[in-house]
Amino acid sequence: MSITEPRDPNVGRLLANRYQLIELVGKGAMGRVYQAEDILLGGTIAVKFLAQTLLNSKMRDRFKAEARTCAQLGQKSIHIVRVTDYGVNDDDVPFYVMEYLEGLGLSEIISAQQLLLPRFLSLTRQICLGLQCAHQGIVVDGAMCPIIHRDIKPSNILVCKDTSLGELVKILDFGISKLLQADGGQTGSYMGTLAYSSPEQMEGRELDARSDIYSLGVMMYEMLSGKMPLQAETHSFGSWYKAHHFHPPRPLSVSAPGLKMPKPLEELVMGCLAKSPSDRPQSVAEVLKALEPLDQRYSGNREVSHRIGEVLAKKPPIIDPVVAPPKPVQEASTVDRSCQMATWPRNKPIAQIVFPQPYTTDKGTLATLWVMLARDDIRHLQVHRLYNRIYKNFLCSMSPHPMVLWVTAIHNSYRKTQGDESLNGSEKSTRWLRCYIDLKTAQGQEMTRLLSDRQEYQILMFAVEDPSKCAHVITVPIHPSQCSQLQQWAIISQTTMSVDTPTTSKNLLQAEFDKLKPRIENEMQTSSTSFSVKLSQPES
């Protein structure tokens, strides 16, 4: 709910000759947040001001550090609020501009109802992905410096509705986050929220990722049971210090006796709540690894959110992706059998064309690529499938119109291996399958979501000579980094304005790919097994 203060002097002001302040939507100890309009580029954004009572040198530096942290992390993870601008107004009050988010705080969700296990797993996984990105750090003075949030709690987690992903989690408020530098000093004083602070945090010790993992454990416990794992005698620093250091957390079975809890999940939560950092999971990656089999087990029953793909741990998505199959292309027999029941659409010509289409089977809706080829070409790929090498990539341009070029190439080296040179040239041994996904259409958004959610797609091949039935199916896995790209593009495209026709973006993407194609062809012909091609993204 918005906070209406008609006498607020900031409402209606034009900030930096660009941001029109519309309404006060939030306030806290650190400052105030306004809904605003970007009159230069259009769209709704949020502006956060540092509180008047904190206008000293130390707090200004901390506020600027928060903006810098979120600006970098928001580019690397969709699960961290994104900051786009920083400045100082005419009254010498610093501000920064961030994406405008509408949703519910996790604290509101927990208080309203008990979380079903599939929803808990989805939300927790997204929180972990955001935390993992922060712990990997940002670049400061040429060095990568980890970020410790220090205030992980439900009120700093926002859950937004999203047409592509179902529910999207955003981690907020890096105002007291700690930048870990090689020459950094000790923390020296306590900062945080008493009920969620780790024992070492309350001692004012230097912290690492394991402190955030403790806070995550408190929050996971609360998400599952609706109660806190520890109770302090009074809401004072001394009482909470004693609770975090000496009181064992109550078993989940005591706090929520009717809750059917998988044993591995209970062990994970209680492990995060260990008093000693060395007894907890040592990284968020360990937490994600523990959640993975549970997520796979319960994902079929998920009612609210869609599964979100892994964020590439060692490399930020979108920029300079590496295209490399993480595992050999395999054919999933049960899915194949469902796809082989497909018939060529009546509204499509009987010609060698390629088009994307969602396809519903008893295994759910699949992301599929429909292809028509000569019967002999399909038979060759099928009989000599051990010699197939698959290249796939997604190139995106947000400007002038949000568009994705989806490229698949199937290279078969059988004739070359057998010493048969009857077919010369890569065009005769490589089949290029290209199509476009318009991110401004409902079908484009659905296809992007299916690709990222399922982390694979099926190529359905039909013969020109006999188009009545599907002749061959190939299942192609998608690398987690590409899934992450697709997710982010789907989200960003919803607030990106189209300033020209879709054809213009198609031409731009095709021209970009034409420059790269010779390198890819050479790599496919010279590599014996897997290969990788580094691609630069067209400017968007």
57: domain CATH number is 3.30.200.20
Residue 131: pLDDT band (50, 70, 90) is very high
The pLDDT tens digits for 462-479 are: 999 988 889 999 988 988
Question: Are both 94 and 115 inside the same structural domain?
Answer: no
**Does the predicted model carry a pTM greater than 0.85?**
no
For 186, the token pair is: 């000790």
Count of structural domains, the chain: 3
Taking a C-beta distance cutoff of 8 angstroms, is the pair 178, 147 a contact? yes
The pLDDT tens digits for 61-104 are: 888 888 888 888 988 889 999 999 999 998 899 999 999 988 88
For 495, the token pair is: 């607030």
Q: Respond yes or no: is residue 336 known to be catalytic.
A: no
Taking a C-beta distance cutoff of 8 angstroms, is the pair 172, 74 a contact? no
pLDDT at 316: 35
Question: Are both 415 and 369 inside the same structural domain?
Answer: yes
What is d(CA 461, CA 242) in angstroms, rounded to the nearest whole number? 66
Which H or E element spans position 509? helix 502-526
Percent of the chain surpassing pLDDT 70: 83
Question: Are both 235 and 272 inside the same structural domain?
Answer: yes
Last residue of a domain, one of 99, 132, 167: 99
Domain that residue 141 falls in: 103-301
Q: Which of 61-70, 364-373, 416-425 has the highest mean pLDDT?
A: 364-373
Question: Are both 113 and 83 inside the same structural domain?
Answer: no
Question: Are both 92 and 109 inside the same structural domain?
Answer: no
Residue 182: pLDDT band (50, 70, 90) is low
DSSP H stretches of helix in 360-501: 375-383, 414-417, 426-429, 442-454, 480-494
The answer on pLDDT for 424 being more than 70 is: no
Instruction: Please report, for the domain that includes residue 203, its CATH number.
Output: 1.10.510.10
Residue 415: pLDDT band (50, 70, 90) is low
Question: Are both 170 and 213 inside the same structural domain?
Answer: yes
Question: Are both 80 and 162 inside the same structural domain?
Answer: no
- Strands 456-463 and 364-373, bridge-based pairing: parallel
| Catalytic choice (90, 141, 151, 500) | 151
The pLDDT tens digits for 199-208 are: 999 998 889 9
pLDDT at 414: 64
Q: Which amino acid is at 202?
A: M
The pLDDT tens digits for 155-166 are: 899 999 876 667
Question: Are both 127 and 234 inside the same structural domain?
Answer: yes
Buried b or exposed e, range 315-348, using 16+ CB within 10 angstroms: ebbbeebebebeeebeeeeebbebbeebebeeee
DSSP 466: B
Question: Are both 237 and 152 inside the same structural domain?
Answer: yes
Q: Which of 470, 189, 220, 217 lies closest to 357, judged by CA?
A: 470
Question: Are both 42 and 82 inside the same structural domain?
Answer: yes
pLDDT at 508: 87
Last residue of a domain, one of 99, 128, 143: 99
Last residue of a domain, one of 72, 99, 126: 99
What does pLDDT average to over the chain?
81
pLDDT at 521: 77
Give the bridge partners for 466, in sequence order.
Answer: 463
Question: Are both 216 and 95 inside the same structural domain?
Answer: no
Strand, coil or helix: 381: helix
Question: Are both 262 and 339 inside the same structural domain?
Answer: no
pLDDT at 534: 36
The answer on pLDDT for 309 being more than 90 is: no
The answer on pLDDT for 151 being more than 70 is: yes
Is 48 known to sit in a ligand binding site?
yes
The answer on pLDDT for 304 being more than 80 is: no
The pLDDT tens digits for 214-259 are: 999 999 999 999 999 999 989 899 999 999 999 999 999 888 887 8
Residue 3: inside a domain: no
Determine how many CB atoms are found less than 10 A away from the CB of residue 196. Answer: 26
Find where tokens 């028509």 sit: 372
